[in-house]
Amino acid sequence: MYNKFDKAIGEDPSDNIYGIICDSYVLKDLNEEKNKYSPFCKKLVRNLGQYSHGTVYFNPTFERCDILYNWLYHSLKKEQIPENIIEKCFDDYNSQIRGMTSNYKCSYESYKNLYLDRMKINILNIFYNNISIISQKLMGTDDTNKTHCQEFVCECVKIYKEMYKNHCHNKVDEDPKRILTCSRLDTIKKTYDIFLSGKSYKNYIIPSLDKVEDNYLTMCQPDTPRSALAAERPGTISVIEPTTQYGERKSGSIPPPSPVVDENQGSSMSRTVSTAFGTVAGASSILALLYKVTQNFILIYEQ
């Protein structure tokens, strides 16, 4: 679905309607910059779906809204879109949908949400909403699907643990955003523990959220040259790399991710875990990570 959101308008039969909404309302005060932002505006109006009856964009699920928010986060950074353009597109969407059903799924408030680290929380929301699908894929026979699931699980474990340490561990202040964020993390952890934690899926072992420094190094690190700290312990198998029935790794199953420039270097849980995290995610910024894990999940979600 992410690729559909990013698709150019092209031959869309509603192109004229999108153009009218953008020119007469969303972009009307921009003057010379109107042409610059018109392609994005048309995409967002289409993606919200209020003028796209009979298409995949109309009446989205909440999960599809999460993917739309990810597309927005990425577009906002990549194209430097002013926030008021996004807000106006949502205003038009809300007014149109209220006239049809009085019940809309995607919202500007959810996109902006009240959580700390909203992009990271949104990745975890996609994970949370699809844990049962991930579990099913891990029990399946398609090695490619299982590989992408493992990558996605490992990225989400990383995000969860960093957020928990930064915002929840030994924190006692009454900041509403922090409280809401920690409550959401707790809900995600409980669901993770039920569906995934500690389970073995045909030579894959899912890392525990309670022992990340023990588990993450041995389960989420690709088979590349490692330091002594990253050496695998007896009886454990890397979550990233599939094995044969005899426990041997299949060489070349997953190439290490390509590093990109880090725009947002945050604090890590420890130097040891930070090293392992860097191996899995490269030196990725949160936007690059957001894009990568979303793409990995879409590969399995749409099959």
pLDDT in tens, 27-58: 999 887 899 999 999 999 999 988 887 777 88
174 and 74 part of one domain: no
Question: Which of 88, 112, 136 is the last residue before a domain boundary?
Answer: 112
Question: Which of 69, 88, 112 is the last residue before a domain boundary?
Answer: 112
- Number of domains present in the structure of the chain: 2
* 213 has pLDDT over 70: no
* 287 has pLDDT over 70: no
161 and 243 part of one domain: yes
214 and 233 part of one domain: yes
56 and 130 part of one domain: no
164 — pLDDT class (breaks 50, 70, 90): very high
129 and 89 part of one domain: no
* 60 has pLDDT over 60: yes
75 and 130 part of one domain: no
Q: Can you give the residue range of the structural domain that contains 47? A: 2-112
pLDDT tens track for 67-106: 888 889 888 888 889 999 999 999 999 888 887 765 778 8
149 and 97 part of one domain: no
Lowest mean pLDDT among 84-93, 139-148, 178-187, 223-232: 223-232
Task: Determine the average pLDDT of the residues in 160-177.
Answer: 86
74 and 210 part of one domain: no
Question: Which of 89, 112, 135 is the last residue before a domain boundary?
Answer: 112
103 and 154 part of one domain: no
pLDDT score for 292: 61
pLDDT score for 98: 80
Task: Determine the average pLDDT of the residues in 265-277.
Answer: 34
pLDDT score for 194: 83
79 and 38 part of one domain: yes
* 272 has pLDDT over 70: no
SS3 sequence, the chain? Answer: CHHHHHCCCCCCCCHHHHHHHHHHHHCCCCHHHHHHHHHHHHHHHHHHCCCCCCCCCCCCCHHHHHHHHHHHHHHHHHHCCCHHHHHHHHHHHHHHHHHHCCCCCCCHHHHHCCCCCHHHHHHHHHHHHCHHHHHHHHCCCCHHHHHHHHHHHHHHHHHHHHHHHHHCCCCCCCCHHHHHHHHHHHHHHHHHHHHCCCCEECCEECCCCCCHHHHHHHHCCCCCCCCHHHCCCCCCCCCCCCECCCCCECCCCCCCCCCCCCCCCCCCCCHHHHHHHHHHHCCCCHHHHHHHHHHHHHHHHCC
More confident residue, 297 or 278: 297
